[in-house]
Structure 1
């Protein structure tokens, strides 16, 4: 009886070095079920190929096929997986006794892979699809597959070579390939069983309208060696056609949803306002809309909740973005009339009144909920939404109920359920429980928000525009995520950022840091669910502070300022290293605040005696230490919170903070005095400056080793444990905010993974330059003149005349003195620099786009700033000064912008 098994031989083109090995894995038991421990090893064949042969029964292959990938195991045990989910074995391809599959490794960093992400496949390049009629071969000996993402409408790939079947290099006889809709590969089936091997061939671009080949791929000819027999099929996966891929460039606008203003909104931007923004973006040739996080941040029910990066749920949407009219059934529209006047009053305000907006909206929601809940909860669409989102929706809704019941989001202070419990939460949700409706109202609101945001992003897609979201690096300390999964976070630390030009004492975001070891145990499920949630609405997303995947700035709970932190994880300094470098080590001198009589007098002047008597204890030998009630910044903060908040007390508190930070290093937790982390900017402290020159030199050498040498490979491996797995879980386009104190390994890792970098003109990554020029941007990047954390172009122009003078002369290439204010032509010149950059994307804050026109831009540029990172209590309330409807009517401005975008080649 004839066997039904088919012999499959996988041959992978890959040149390895000594110590490396290759394997194959896939989503089927035959290939190890994507368990790398069960993957099948390949054998070294020659300098060009590794190979593996297996037998497989076509009948065990599911209808969707088996998806497989190759893996590379390095000498150190680290594993890399080739990119994509397009290597598939189908039963229909196993029609002969033997099948040879010749594959190429797909490096995640290839720029071509970017164009197979969702925004390009589903929106930006979708209209380029062109079907091709092919004559089916009567017999198939070889199948050729190749990808090329940027072919225009009316174009396809063709193949030409040195044999009769491949046209003998006659362009008129080139073989045309076809790509099925929603497929990645161009393919052709040929019978070349009578051909003399090896064959030599190339791919090219074929114009279907002119019916001719118009472009060859570059590089060497392709060569195929093969042995033909009648019971064998060869499938050749040639990867990417070697064609130019840096020609596609797009432009976008960035604005928080809360900053949008329409004639019918309610004092704050709403998801429905995105429709008008899409209309404007389409009119002026923009292809991307970028927004800030839109998650619920309601912790205190005050304006301090306006900070969009402190979400009480990484999944829930903010109720303030709900359009009340769209949320109201036709029969209940009359309920909108009583709030109309208040709605108009709020909408006339220059800035967002966060508290008034949310009070109005929640008051109205509570009116319509009992009238509309039954119909909504009984709908099939809601039932499906609830099942998909139940994992976060139920804990979030219960959290909101308990937050309001207890009067605080701090679950440590609740009277019950301080620790999340599934059974207890289910009991609260029971239809007979008094708490049922107070919990279910949050299901109601989240579903309506989901519909409105989904509708807005679909409208964008229908108009050829993609939407880019934002994933904050942290979670709020007193939110539903921390309550439900406290084991995923280090609750005894705070995340932040080291000092920079924008925040000289660093930033303390207050978020707990991630317990990455625990997250890795379940394959980073929480992160993958988070990415899945983003994909419901967005095509691309920005990873806020991507450096946090390498290392995070970790600040102890007793500190207030970010300057008191250190990078975690990091390799600390062992006490033996001081001895090895002949450094005198004194724990008290290095690790405790350095406070002397002279220093107190210099800092506090006539307040010196008050400071010494109130906060300090004299040690003898001209030294002081802090009293136990004031020996941390947190204790000092608590003390001054009880005093009048006047200028003198603010100054005194700030100086005491600085005195507590006057240390050279911090002891590593749990090291028993054996390991230490250097304080950032150690050499700027008075403590360091008053050491002898020899000790200063030795400490500085060790400091430089600690920050800029020993950590780099360690941090690289940390990132490679997380980012590849997370990137594989989504097909959205990923951009990383790689700003700040960037480790040397970061650009390499981002390039390896094909993650777009962020390039900002006034934040150059090269420390030897004062400015970054957009003309020097890498292709896989996003260039922008400013972000929400910075002043706008116009605001920046007025901050430091020396800096703008050098920018004017050196970057803009202008002679003479710079204009005192940022004239419209100056703003426009900066925008044009970014539009003509080689970067894939140039994205602008809306304020910077409006700044190019003197007639429509805001009078005061300092009213346009969204956030001030140095102020942890900043009120996020910026609104557009004109409505979107008005913006759409600015014909001269819009036409000029469209003309400039088209001229830059950003299509």
Structure 2
């Protein structure tokens, strides 16, 4: 008889066993239970010859301590039964279902911090992959079982601070060179170089933030020296040869792309000489015998060591019972290896983004191309499966950024800078006859062109209205005004204003004010024409907030609102559900990683059901409840298949949020924390942060994950003085410099015994340290 079942939830020093009524199963004597092997973990198995197969056998599985040789726990529920069998010589396999734990479903707790924000004594002004081991040590000391990071892919496109944006990767496979620890590669043989590196380490580590350009300049300088120093041994290294053979599909074009980027001074491959605008010469360029090989071999060297260091850190985490959770950006960078090698997979003339939300009233324009899903489907979504498989090389859990993009993406035309003139794609736009029927009329000029009148110009530009009109506009007749031909789109306006700023930088603030006003006028439309179907239109997002809408008559406004509500909240539900069920399964089941989806924002009603069906965890942020009828979410209401967190990298920290709006904070203090008729403290005191953390820890959600800044908020001595300096990203600012760095070296955080014990006690009391 072969007993087997799947049970990943077993402590490292424990194992499963089987105990039953048959003498071969111990005859219910707990000291004689039969241990199961984990050779095929998470499947446990053992083969047993029953003493009395002619009789029914009752049995249960249990948790066994092989060191103490004792049964720790027997599964709950009725006995399992093996019916009597007269064929004793036949091998029977019992493929049993899951182990029936006595405790409630397992729950864990984790910490979130970008790798670049890690601070250690061994770093070079930025977090590096070996620093993850220090964060894992701290997680173990505080009872946390997960470490979550932001995307770690290479974003080096311009060699400027703009490359600090971690969601604009030039390769969905390559790792960012900033995370390479130089000493872990090899010791520099040149004493002067070693001395220079030590001086730079002291200088860059003393800064409160990641000074991206000096850090990267230093990294590249020493990486080049190490490459030349180690080149011969590196190219002959069997481990590198194996890495090259396994990863060449992405590694060769990536190395060629990086070398050509630096040779021609731009990542925009459309500006390269004609013979390099496609990847036709990748094989020739990356041959060791090529005279220019070092331009490309440098990137083989860098990626090999990055991969080696990251896998070592992840292995260390697994050995210590800690999961490393990665992050998959929804988009790709326009000037990337992926766009260079497979442009047919993307709509390069479009831009991906997000509709207006709490982060930005005009929407977000990420400027990434959108996906050609039809082309991706043609080969069974191979690109996605390869991407997921590569991420599984490093991670056991994964956050999918903006998972709503698998249902529909916010697609913005190439001529827009802001996101208001975008539309969901795919979508079911209204035809002109349908709008006429439901609205009672259709006038393209009134509905689809910017609504500009003189009183609007006075309202926007005040005393400068006449001057702005004369420079940028013309009379369109019957009281209407239109923008002149050279400045009819936001992209054209942006170019004109940027030129003015370059010629007269002293008036930059004025020109930015002017640009904002002109952008707003371009947005004054009620319908956006579809770019695929002639005479089909999408209602402009948040059209009810526009001047154009306010100046419609009382007959048209309610009809347009009804049409708008139907379009965004009813018309597409079945259609978008079908999209998600088509695209997500090939991605979801490409690996066995635990998948979590960032499902914040304007969420279609079908999304939670599809995610639940696919076993994808949702995200519950207290400040962004999924129910639009509530101001704040409560962690108690989160389902088991979810992650609860007080915030994300796109938000202010708990302490920063607490100070943003005192009236809002007071309502939260009373309705969520239960301090009725008490005045909320002006600042988020440690005891307030503690209450919020505890609330999340006791949630029924599978995971409670906290930004490290919010955990350190529990200590008046450890937390940063200025909470505004703790925010990682400001989504409303498209040119935000991602420079946040945790203020305490991890070696010193590990020594904060009192604080660490406080965190561990909170985790333990909530049951999130409990395995069984």
TM-score by length of 2: 0.93
Deviations 1:612-645 (A, max 9, x none): 2222221111111221111111111111111225
The counterpart of 1:860, out of the listed 722, 746, 752, is 722
8 Å Cα contact 1:193/1:229 also seen in 2 = no
The counterpart of 1:494, out of the listed 339, 351, 356, is 351
Partners of 1:599 and 1:698 in 2: how far apart? 24
Tell me which residue corresponds to 2:455.
598
The counterpart of 1:614, out of the listed 444, 449, 471, is 471
8 Å Cα contact 2:697/2:704 also seen in 1 = yes
| Deviation (angstroms), 1:576 | 2.8
The counterpart of 2:668, out of the listed 793, 797, 807, is 807
Tell me which residue corresponds to 1:660.
522
The counterpart of 1:437, out of the listed 294, 301, 314, is 294
SS of the residue corresponding to residue 289 of structure 1 reads strand
| Deviation (angstroms), 1:194 | 7.2
Partners of 1:175 and 1:881 in 2: how far apart? 52
Do the aligned partners of residues 676 and 172 (structure 1) sit closer, same or farther apart at CA in structure 2, a change above 3 Å counting? same
8 Å Cα contact 1:167/1:174 also seen in 2 = yes
8 Å Cα contact 2:438/2:559 also seen in 1 = yes
Tell me which residue corresponds to 1:156.
16
Partners of 1:726 and 1:226 in 2: how far apart? 44
8 Å Cα contact 1:145/1:186 also seen in 2 = yes
Partners of 2:15 and 2:248 in 1: how far apart? 46
The counterpart of 1:821, out of the listed 660, 683, 686, is 683
Partners of 1:213 and 1:413 in 2: how far apart? 67
| Deviation (angstroms), 1:507 | 0.4
The counterpart of 1:372, out of the listed 224, 230, 237, is 230
Tell me which residue corresponds to 2:262.
404
Tell me which residue corresponds to 2:560.
699
Deviations 1:255-313 (A, max 9, x none): 11111111232111111222222222222222111111111111111111110100111
Partners of 1:345 and 1:744 in 2: how far apart? 52
Alignment of 1:257-272 (within 5 A): 257-272=115-130
Structure with the larger RCO, 1 or 2 (CA within 8 Å, 6+ apart) = 2
| Deviation (angstroms), 1:388 | 1.0
The counterpart of 1:309, out of the listed 162, 167, 179, is 167
Do the aligned partners of residues 181 and 865 (structure 1) sit closer, same or farther apart at CA in structure 2, a change above 3 Å counting? same
| Deviation (angstroms), 1:243 | 4.1
Answer yes or no: is 1:237 the counterpart of 2:95.
yes
SS of the residue corresponding to residue 368 of structure 2 reads coil
Do the aligned partners of residues 753 and 246 (structure 1) sit closer, same or farther apart at CA in structure 2, a change above 3 Å counting? farther
Deviations 1:434-466 (A, max 9, x none): 321111111111111111112222222222222
Do the aligned partners of residues 218 and 372 (structure 1) sit closer, same or farther apart at CA in structure 2, a change above 3 Å counting? same
Aligned residues: 759
Partners of 2:689 and 2:156 in 1: how far apart? 37
Partners of 1:185 and 1:847 in 2: how far apart? 40
Partners of 1:151 and 1:244 in 2: how far apart? 13
- Considering only aligned residues, what root-mean-square deviation do their CA atoms show, in Å? 2.7
| Deviation (angstroms), 1:575 | 2.3
Tell me which residue corresponds to 2:202.
344
Answer yes or no: is 1:328 the counterpart of 2:190.
no
8 Å Cα contact 2:15/2:38 also seen in 1 = no
Name whichever of 228-237 and 722-731 sits farther off: 228-237
Alignment of 1:48-197 (within 5 A): 143=2, 145-150=4-9, 156=16, 158=18, 178-183=36-41, 184-186=43-45
Do the aligned partners of residues 699 and 168 (structure 1) sit closer, same or farther apart at CA in structure 2, a change above 3 Å counting? farther
Do the aligned partners of residues 418 and 151 (structure 1) sit closer, same or farther apart at CA in structure 2, a change above 3 Å counting? closer
8 Å Cα contact 1:736/1:755 also seen in 2 = yes
Tell me which residue corresponds to 1:689.
550
Alignment of 1:161-560 (within 5 A): 178-183=36-41, 184-186=43-45, 203=60, 205=62, 215=74, 217-218=76-77, 235-243=93-101, 246-329=104-187, 331=189, 335-422=193-280, 424-560=281-417
Tell me which residue corresponds to 2:648.
787
Partners of 2:552 and 2:698 in 1: how far apart? 51
8 Å Cα contact 2:63/2:72 also seen in 1 = yes
| Deviation (angstroms), 1:225 | 8.7
Do the aligned partners of residues 574 and 277 (structure 1) sit closer, same or farther apart at CA in structure 2, a change above 3 Å counting? same
Structure 1 runs not aligned, ≥5 long: 1-139
Tell me which residue corresponds to 1:30.
none
Deviations 1:488-514 (A, max 9, x none): 111011110010111111100010111
8 Å Cα contact 2:24/2:49 also seen in 1 = no
8 Å Cα contact 2:124/2:201 also seen in 1 = yes
Tell me which residue corresponds to 1:670.
532
